[in-house]
Amino acid sequence: MISLWDEHWFWLEMLQDHAYFARDALSPSEEEYVQIAIQFIDLYGDLLSDLQGIPRTAQFNDPRMIEFARKAWQVVKAYYDFEGTLQALRIDNKINLNLSPTYLNGTLSENQEYLRILSYLMQGQQPVPLTVTQLLDLWLEDQLGHAVLFENTLDPIEVGVNLATETFKSRFQLYIVQNHHMKNYMRVKEPGFARQQEFIYEVGKTTLEMYQFVKGMVEKYKANTLLNKTNLRFLEHHFPETCYFLARLSYYEPRLREELGPCSLSKPSF
């Protein structure tokens, strides 16, 4: 069970990471956009500080949480528009940005989900959860994106790790196709039929496997035994997003709860 306080903390930390990644991927020649990214890093930091002043037990109808949600929405929506601008410029090759348009599809989709949640919280209402197929749409794209990005950040000499990354990439691509068909089965079946439950469990197991794989990559990174072109923040960004996905997924497939175990919605080193 994810508390409302933890929900806010998770999203704000993840979006602040996205601002860090945008800052790092922009050429210094893009001074205006670099400065905007830095401003958002600071704004998300301010929101995280403000959140620490609210009791962790506060609920969605607490006036302090309603006011916080309204304040957060302004920053989150502005950042969504900023990344949208970067994406439009990147599509037309009008910006020196070392991020692809499809990478930005992923971060914008996550941003959009927090905006959806905030739209309820600003009204003092409990957010309606995503259906399991919607949840999988969002986070399978994220898991696939991470596998692709890990592959892109590794040095060519890291053949073994690259092969493992390629395997995860193929599996998540297949899951995205399978989830599309699961949605279509809903024309004749109620959610939770046996094959869908087995699919959810399989996705969860593979996601846990990749979580352990990335833990190994982080250990190698810290020991300077993995040649790459990324940083620790980027690698550890995978952990809270995976924990959030699996916590939400375990609501629909309780078998995943025991296998998930203790899992933090914050990065270990930041």
Q: Which domains can be identified in the chain, with CATH numbers? A: 4-122 (1.20.1260.120), 132-259 (1.20.1260.120)
- Tell me the C-alpha distance between 110 and 118, whole Å: 13
Span 170-201, pLDDT tens digits: 999 999 999 999 999 999 999 999 999 999 99
- The angle that helices 4-25 and 63-91 make with each other, rounded to 10 degrees, is 30
**pLDDT tens for each residue of the chain, 270 residues long:** 899 999 999 999 999 999 999 999 999 999 999 999 999 999 999 999 999 999 999 999 999 999 999 999 999 999 999 999 999 999 999 999 999 999 999 999 999 999 999 999 999 999 999 999 999 999 999 999 999 999 999 999 999 999 999 999 999 999 999 999 999 999 999 999 999 999 999 999 999 999 999 999 999 999 999 999 999 999 999 999 999 999 999 999 999 988 888 899 999 998
Record the tokens describing residue 19, joined without a space.
Answer: 């601002």
C-alpha of 23 from chain center: 18
Do 146 and 189 form a contact (C-beta atoms < 8 A)?
no
Do 64 and 4 form a contact (C-beta atoms < 8 A)?
no
Record the tokens describing residue 262, joined without a space.
Answer: 């203790």
- Tell me the C-alpha distance between 45 and 53, whole Å: 13
- Tell me the C-alpha distance between 92 and 220, whole Å: 37
**Three-class HEC string of 125-146:** CCCCCCCHHHHHHHHHHHHHHH
Do 143 and 245 form a contact (C-beta atoms < 8 A)?
yes
- How many CB atoms lie under 10 A from the CB of residue 131? 13
Residue 87 phi/psi, 5-degree rounding, is -65, -45
Q: Which amino acid is at 150?
A: F
What secondary structure letter does DSSP report for 224?
T
- Tell me the C-alpha distance between 84 and 104, whole Å: 8
Do 19 and 233 form a contact (C-beta atoms < 8 A)?
no
**pLDDT computed for residue 168 by the predictor:** 98
Do 76 and 118 form a contact (C-beta atoms < 8 A)?
yes
Instruction: List all residues 6 or more positions away from 193 whose beta carbon is below 8 Å from its beta carbon.
Output: 185
